[in-house]
Amino acid sequence: MNLLSTNVIMISLLTSVHLDTLKEMLDKSELEMYITEAVATVNHRYKLHYHITPPVGWMNGPNGFLFYKEEYHLFYQYYPYDTQWGPMHWGHVASTNLIDWRPLPTALRPADEQCFSGSAIDNQGIMVLMYTAHQSTKNPPFYNESQYLAFSVDGIDFHKYKGNPIAIKPPPGTQDFRDPKVWRHGMHWYVVLGSKTRDQRGAAILYRSTDMIHWQFQSVLAESSGALGNMWEWPDFFEINGKFILMISPRGIIPSGDRFKNTCQTGYIVGTFSYATCQFKQEVGFQELDYGHDFYATHTAERNGKRYLIAWFGMWESVHPEDADGWVGAMTLVRELDLVGSRILMKPVEAITSLREETILEGEFHHNASIEFEKTGEIIVNLDLTENIELEITGTLGGDRLSVRWSLDEGKMVVDRMGEIRQVGWEPLDTVIWRIFLDTSSFELFCGEGEVVFSSRVYPLGEWRVSNRGPQSLHVVAYTLKKKRKAN
């Protein structure tokens, strides 16, 4: 081949790359313009203030939670064009303190694939996204799931790898192979993916790579014996206090007594793991992580020895009253994790105290007394568990009603949302308190040191009213919290 023909080929390749980049820029600009215009039409009656919500459209599970270039980044499943689930994009926000999140341009847009969930890694200053490409097919099972990469040098503008899909094969007998969580250990990259066995039992699969493009199967970290559902989504795998945690979101678990009341569940398995053999040995079986009505699809990040978790503040098949307002979905508060014995504890990150404004009560909260907030509040309640306790939470103009109870006879914490009861036994480790966070349409309760947590969406009318319906007076500290936008 002569020099002229070589130059022609190079010019052709460069022109193609230039045109692809130009098209990406135009598509991105058009989408961001649409979002900016659509935001002006959103009704804020239920819009949360200090939680992550989509600017417009639909949000579900978190993706790509990491610390990169002095900021935390979080991505999320996003469909900007409707308030129903649709072709998946990746929305994007960033924060310096895990509390104040700033919106960034949409990171991924679908082409011939939907951009399902995945994770992110900082590879020597280059942010790499690994995500599941979900593609429709003409033949059963009518979809295919493979894994794609995308890259960014600034954490804002992303470009998909031209060699997608990467070389990583699903287990035989299933097309369900998604939600990669990637990390580095030593000289290798590792990734755990959610999947199922040939006979419809959920499983978490481990792979290893030296280049993030070519992957080798290592082991099935764990799989359902039949009782833990037919598909494991959003897997995560990490170490705390010398133990390894396999976190999963199973679908298809049958309710049993007080447990597994939601459409889908999220929980964890505690065990040991060897990087030499890639074998995970289970020591403590599956435990639910959060006992509320609206908690699914967790994602974690590690920074300075601390492990942080965030989840979708939602649940499949739930009613979302905000869908009439131009948006749907939220993320929970970021929680810091600890492992005490065989139990994960979850506490709100310390920076949440920076949101406190006015102290509206510090002292005794008597029987049938009430506290009224505007749209946001935090309540710390000191408890005497030798008597029943009950708080009623509702709107000053009505709407949803929620009851928080300690049942002395049963030794259980109970959260009752309009007759939908979630309850679990509570044995405090040390501190005997409730810490309650209210946002415009959300409720989060942290019991004690975080050994029991409830997260539920609640839709009051007017402002918040919290009333003491129990027999005892309670010592309470109640704060209003900063609001991130003006009331409409």
Q: Model confidence over 292-314: pLDDT tens digits?
A: 999 999 999 999 999 999 999 99
Q: Alpha-carbon dihedral of residues 481, 453, 241, 232, nearest 10 degrees?
A: -120
| 433 shares a domain with 396 | yes
* pLDDT at site 15: 42
Contact indicator for 161, 108 with CB cutoff of 8 Å? no
User: Quick check: is 90 in a domain?
Assistant: yes
High-pLDDT (> 70) share of the chain, %:
94
Among residues 297, 329, 348, which one ends one of the domains? Answer: 348
* Distance (Å, whole) CA 474 – CA 463: 22
| 175 shares a domain with 143 | yes
Whole-structure pTM value: 0.94
User: Quick check: is 26 in a domain?
Assistant: no
State the CATH number of the domain containing residue 206: 2.115.10.20
Residue count (the chain) = 488
User: Quick check: is 30 in a domain?
Assistant: no
User: Quick check: is 296 in a domain?
Assistant: yes
| 464 shares a domain with 366 | yes
Question: What is the residue-wise DSSP string for 132-183?
Answer: EEEEE-SSTT-EEEEEEEEEESSSSS-EE-TTPSPB-PPPTT---EEEEEEE
In Å, what is the CA distance from 205 to each residue of 62, 236, 269, 272?
20, 11, 14, 16
Across the range 239-244, mean pLDDT stands at: 97
Residue 294, token pair as written in the block: 């609206």
Among residues 320, 348, 376, which one ends one of the domains? Answer: 348
* Distance (Å, whole) CA 55 – CA 31: 12
| 176 shares a domain with 325 | yes
| 380 shares a domain with 336 | no
* pLDDT at site 484: 76
Across the range 52-72, mean pLDDT stands at: 98
* Distance (Å, whole) CA 53 – CA 58: 9
User: Quick check: is 308 in a domain?
Assistant: yes
Across the range 266-290, mean pLDDT stands at: 98
Contact indicator for 224, 180 with CB cutoff of 8 Å? no
Structure confidence at residue 485 as a pLDDT band (50, 70, 90): low
| 339 shares a domain with 454 | no
Query: Which helix (H) or strand (E) segment is 76 a member of?
Result: strand 71-79
User: Quick check: is 476 in a domain?
Assistant: yes
| 366 shares a domain with 284 | no
Flag whether pLDDT at 16 surpasses 90. Answer: no
| 144 shares a domain with 76 | yes
| 241 shares a domain with 220 | yes
How many folded domains does the chain comprise? 2
Candidate from 14-28, 154-168, 350-364 with smallest mean pLDDT: 14-28
Structure confidence at residue 7 as a pLDDT band (50, 70, 90): very low
User: Quick check: is 375 in a domain?
Assistant: yes
Among residues 348, 375, 393, which one ends one of the domains? Answer: 348
| 312 shares a domain with 367 | no
The domain in which residue 470 lies consists of 354-481
| 402 shares a domain with 291 | no
**CB-facing half-sphere around the CA of 337: CA atoms within 13 A:** 27
| 221 shares a domain with 126 | yes
State the CATH number of the domain containing residue 417: 2.60.120.560
